[in-house]
Amino acid sequence: MVTVERVGSPATAGPDIEVQRVSHAFGLQNDRRRVLALRETSLEVKPSEFVCLIGPSGCGKTTLLNIMGGLVQPQIGTVLVRGGPMHAPRPHDVAFVFQESTLFSWRTVIDNVKVSLQFQGVRSERERTDRARAALEFVNLVDFADHYPDQLSGGMKQRVALARALSLETDILLMDEPFAALDEQTRMVLGEDLSVLLWRAKKTIVFVTHSLSEAVFLADRVAVFTARPGQIKNIIEINEGHPRKSAFMLSPRFHELRNGLYELLRDEIMKTVTDAQRSSRRSGNPG
């Protein structure tokens, strides 16, 4: 059976993730097209904490997530995961859920979950099957174990992607806009379900989103980014218990927090739009 309760870190342990003055650019040093994505960004994520990253398009949120997961090496600064430097992906410590469900269309749901366990190095077919089935049960999809992805809704596919990540039994989960392709109603329902599931799983979560409502509803803290090059402008404490229900979305507190996020982001979004217009004019494109 897959273990969904957090194990390991004592209450006195340090942060699960430490980002220390990270800067990162794409492109060669002297290339005029070089883009500075992140500048001197620092952040700590505590064990079992849910942190959302929010900011204008292109501000470096996904870059930072990929650096946390070892998919990208920062040019300046350090990332520590559970006290150790993150030089490469560590599939026994960190799992990803991406924007696209990235399921294999020719594999059944349970086989799509099992393949991640193969990549992790789990050799026993029996163990892979047991852990995959337990993860599907955790996300309420065990009855669809033998279905294929094209028989599922968009929301169900993202549940499979979450099950695949949970089956790896890592303490840390990095999620890059996992609901971005879904309609608003489905996102709201999945947000409620995710709040319950992740509260039960006791994972340390870093979650990238463009949705103000999603950030307020899910997070313990929201890190607000500036326009590119991204830096953390402010961190908002939500101070609301888990799991969260739809009634929270109707509360004055929810709207106060959401409006506060908008005020912090508005100038950064306008700066992003203005910079894009200037760049377009320089390149000779209209508008």
Which one has a higher pLDDT value, 65 or 5?
Answer: 65
On whether both 86 and 185 belong to a single domain, the answer is yes
Instruction: State which of 139, 169, 199 marks the end of a domain.
Output: 169
Is 2 inside a domain boundary?
no
Paired strand residues for 50? 205
Same domain flag for 51 and 78: yes
> What is the pLDDT, as a whole number, of residue 281?
62
In this prediction, residue 4 has a pLDDT band, given cuts at 50, 70 and 90, of very low
Range with the poorest average pLDDT among 9-13, 58-62, 169-173? 9-13
Res. 287: pLDDT tops 80: no
CB 75 within 8 A of CB 229: no
Q: 107 and 227, same structural domain?
A: no
Residues 136 and 247 in one domain: no
Q: Are residues 137 and 274 in the same domain?
A: no
Q: Which domain holds residue 109?
A: 98-169
231 and 212 co-located in one domain: yes
Boundary of a domain, candidates 169, 202, 224: 169
Confidence grade of residue 283 (pLDDT, cut at 50, 70, 90): low
**Per-residue pLDDT tens digits for 202-246:** 899 999 999 999 999 999 999 999 999 999 999 999 999 888 888
Query: What is the domain count for the chain?
Result: 2
Residues 180 and 267 in one domain: yes
Q: What is the mean pLDDT of residues 75-80?
A: 95
Which of 202, 184, 177, 181 lies closest to 11, judged by CA? 202
The answer to the question of residue 239 being in a domain is: yes
Express each pLDDT in 137-158 by its tens digit.
988 899 999 999 999 998 899 8
- Looking at the structure, tell me whether residues 67 and 203 fall in a common domain: yes
Alpha helices, H only, 36-81: 61-68
The answer to the question of residue 111 being in a domain is yes
* 116/192 same-domain check: no
- Of residues 41 and 197, which shows the higher confidence score? 41
110 and 234 assigned to the same domain: no
Residue 280: what pLDDT? 59
In this structure, what token pair is assigned to residue 250? 């109707």
Could you tell me if 238 and 257 are in contact, meaning their C-beta atoms sit under 8 angstroms apart?
yes
Q: Is residue 118 part of a domain?
A: yes
Q: Is residue 1 part of a domain?
A: no
- Answer yes or no: is 195 within a domain: yes
Beta bridge partners of 79: 19
- Which of 16-20, 168-172, 271-275 is the least confident region? 271-275
Q: Does residue 277 share a domain with residue 142? A: no
pTM given for the model: 0.87
Summarised one tens digit per residue, pLDDT across range 15-71 is 999 999 999 999 877 777 788 999 999 999 999 999 999 999 889 999 999 999 999
Task: Look at residue 273 and tell me if it is in a domain.
Answer: yes
Q: Last residue of a domain, which of 111, 145, 169?
A: 169
Same domain? 194 vs 223: yes
Domain harbouring 280, CATH code: 3.40.50.300
Return the percentage of the chain with pLDDT > 90, whole number: 62
Helical residues (DSSP H) of the chain, grouped into ranges: 61-68, 109-120, 125-138, 154-167, 184-201, 212-218, 246-249, 252-282
